[in-house]
Amino acid sequence: MLKRETFQVAIVGCGRVGMTTAYSLLLQGIPTRLILYSRNLKKLEGEKLDLEHGFPFYPSIPEITITTKPQDLKGTDLIIYTAGAAQKPGQTRLDLTKTNLNILHKILPPILKAAPHALVLIVANPVDLLTYTAHRLLDLPWGRVFGSGTTLDTARFRFQLSQHLHLHPDSIHAYIMGEHGDSSFLAQSAATIGGIPLSYYPQLNQKLIDQVYQETRDAAYKIIDGKGSTYYGIATALSHLTKAIKNDANLVLPLSIPLIKPYYQVQNISLSVPVVLNRNGVRQTLTIYLSETEQQALHHSANTLKQTLKQTT
């Protein structure tokens, strides 16, 4: 018999984001084994059974394991970390810093002891500060710990702009960079549609570009105000990242990565820049052209995060 390649994914934190991600992964047949890790075993039992009822319709049938014990994550290839308090109406992501840093310090080290070769994808907010803390706490090689960062922000911007221009979002090549939060910014100088710089594209002007970015930045607040939390968009983005890792895709994405080496003179913090993602994690960062104003925005984002971390730790 041919040996089937295994790809084991563990979701740590099985709230709305974690479970929607699990569902999205199963719908695409990505993991060969899916581990759901949480402290509430009774809820996990219900979630597992509900997911298993979809087995006749998934592309493949993985093993689903539920556990409250870190040692059961042995052999995991990818840890998707969603544990922590969720953003509530009126809160910014940075308001969650102290609570979610404390949770991360308790949960992650025992898990990595059981699964020392795993990649760690941080999703819980504030994702940039949790990513940087996890990198320092776990002492893993650079690139093994990274955050979902502005992947969703970028998708939101491309979607919002596509609606105005009647284009497919894939045809819009633009990144939201910096903090996954209020100090993010559009890297407009490097943005193109069909090879045409964003600033020169027909039907576009600076007022509309600024409007679309504002809609993007405020999207999460609007969703949270309407339904309490966001989870469909981020779960879809996470399954996209997971598939890229499994397939060793060398895909370029804006992810939150610890900047150990200077990136436009920014370092010693995690924030989102374009990176290459493959089976080993983040392979490298890509230094795209940024205008002076955009470089200032990058520094502002970094300083905002550093100040919050300093005040919290």
Token pair 């994550």: residue: 73
H or E segment at 112?
A: helix 97-114
Q: Residue 185: beta bridge partners?
A: 177
Rg (CA), the chain: 19
Are 147 and 118 contacting, i.e. CB atoms less than 8 angstroms apart?
A: no
Active site residue 180: yes
Token pair recorded at residue 267: 């370092």
How many CA within 13 A on the CB side of residue 275? 34
C-alpha span between 4 and 237 (Å, rounded) = 26
Whether 112 and 106 have beta carbons less than 8 Å apart is answered as no
* Type of residue numbered 223: I
Residues 6 or more apart whose Cβ sits within 8 Å of residue 178: 150, 184, 185, 271, 272, 297, 298, 300, 301, 302
Written as six digits, the tokens of 64 are: 């689903």
Separation of alpha carbons 195 and 92, rounded Å: 35
CA geometry: angle at 231 spanning 256 and 207, to 5°? Answer: 65
Three-state secondary structure call for residue 308: helix
Cα–chain center distance at 213? 19
Neighbours of 194 (CB within 10 A): 9
* Annotated active-site residue in 105, 166, 180, 299: 180
Torsion 136-144-83-238 (CA) sign: positive
CB atoms within 10 A of CB 109: 14
Catalytic residues, by residue number, are 180
